[in-house]
Amino acid sequence: MMLSAPGPSRNLPQYGALLVVLLANWLLFPDFFAIRLQDGRLFGSLIDVLNRGAPVALLAIGMTMVIATRGVDLSVGAVMAISGAVAATMTGAGWGLPAVLAASLAAGLLCGLWNGLLVAVLRIQPIIATLILMVAGRGIAQLITEGQIVTFTSPALAFIGGGSFLTVPMPVVLTILVLAVTALLVRATALGLMIEAVGINRLSSAGAGVNTPVVLVAVYVWCGLCAAVAGLIVTADIRGADANNAGLWLELDAILAVVVGGTSLLGGRFGLVLSVVGALIIQAMNTGILLSGFKPEFNLIVKAGVLMVVLLLQSPTLTLFLPRPKGARPMGAVKPPVAPPPVAPKSGGAKP
């Protein structure tokens, strides 16, 4: 299977929109594509787009899987705050980097597990189940930081936000890594197919032998882990945990990225790479607005205008009027649910 759905025409709105936004940035600011090395690290506006887009891209990767199961995770912003708070507080208390990373990721995992159990076992609607942690999570983060911005000076943790690997900023490296691991997990095993099956029809996929609770818990846990990595990045970036503001409203940006990427909120087929492209479109707009010198009062209006165009290009009604190459499926089409054998997820190698 491929990383995203076959056929270039399906992906055209996303890649096209990204290109158009980047070109618009270039027109507004001629040095947009200029890149140089600064202290052994790539430096330039295009790098800013990738670097600043990394947290939302990470959230979008986790969110894509959740949305593919016909769910949604509103708590990712709060989970970012929690993982950042854990990292900064533990670093301040003198713990080493391995312990700090393990604890932060474990916090994200626990949050995901909580969401997953509410959705899969107690069968609470995802939007409500994750709303609980969205509200409570920020409070938990504030409890950890005692309502202050907890700063740290450890260069090891700061490296995650400000360091680089082969001149590429660490947030970008981490995002690529998480994307690769996620793609491998869902596309090299039957897990991706099971996620889509659960999203299309939970009851029938259960009847066909899919262990739906395990699949659901797994995607929420993965989403929590992605959010924890994003939280580590923003905390490392500013060398401090700001429980009030870290990840604030980013859950909405992540959902937007997934939708811009063409994954339907009704579940089923999903595209991981396209969600990351969606996140980059949003960030390219943000960076473009900052470079353009528009008054800040216009930020949100410009953003909304561009997003509307991208979403209109994907509208099933409007795409009927656009010329479509032969063989390409319309956007809303889904594959008939295939019943995979009830293998344990992540067992590897088991292809349907």
Partner 1 sequence: MSRKWVISAATAAAALFIGLGAVQAADKKLVVGFSQIGSESGWRAAETKTAKAEAEKRGIDLKISDAQQKQENQIKAVRSFVAQGVDAIFIAPVVATGWDSVLKEAKEAKIPVVLLDRQIETKDPSLYMTAVTSDTVHEGRVAGEWLAKQTGGKCAVVELQGTVGSSPAINRKKGFDEIVAKNPGMKIVRTQSGDFTRAKGKEVMESFIKAENGGKGICAVYAHNDDMAVGAIQAIKEAGLKPGKDILVVSIDGVPDIFKAMAEGEANATVELTPNMAGPAYDALIAFKKDGKAPPKWIQTESALFTPETAKAEYERRKDAY
d(CA 269, CA 262): 9
Residue 9 or 245 having the CB closest to partner 1: 245
d(CA 210, CA 221): 18
Q: Give the amino acid at 116.
A: G
Residue 65 or 234 having the CB closest to partner 1: 234
Binder of partner 1 out of 109, 110, 117, 149 (CB under 8 A)? 149
Q: Show Cβ contacts of residue 48 under 8 Å, excluding neighbours closer than 6 positions.
A: 287
Say whether residue 238 binds partner 1 (CB under 8 A).
yes
- Range 263-302, binding partner 1 (CB under 8 A): 286-287, 290-291, 293, 295-297, 299
x/- site string to partner 1, residues 10 to 39, per CB under 8 A?
Answer: -------------------x-x------xx
Q: How far is CA 25 from CA 48, 168, 186, 306, 336, in A?
A: 13, 22, 35, 13, 41
Q: How many CA atoms lie within 13 A of 348 on its CB side?
A: 1
Say whether residue 45 binds partner 1 (CB under 8 A).
yes
d(CA 161, CA 135): 26
Binder of partner 1 out of 20, 124, 151, 176 (CB under 8 A)? 151
Task: For residue 29, count CB atoms less than 10 angstroms from its CB and return exposed for 0-12, middle for 13-18, buried for 19 or more.
Answer: middle
Residue 15 or 159 having the CB closest to partner 1: 159
Binder of partner 1 out of 21, 22, 48, 255 (CB under 8 A)? 48
Say whether residue 234 binds partner 1 (CB under 8 A).
yes
| Site for partner 1, rule CB under 8 A | 29, 31, 38-39, 41, 43-45, 48, 52, 142, 147-149, 151, 162, 234, 237-240, 242, 244-246, 286-287, 290-291, 293, 295-297, 299
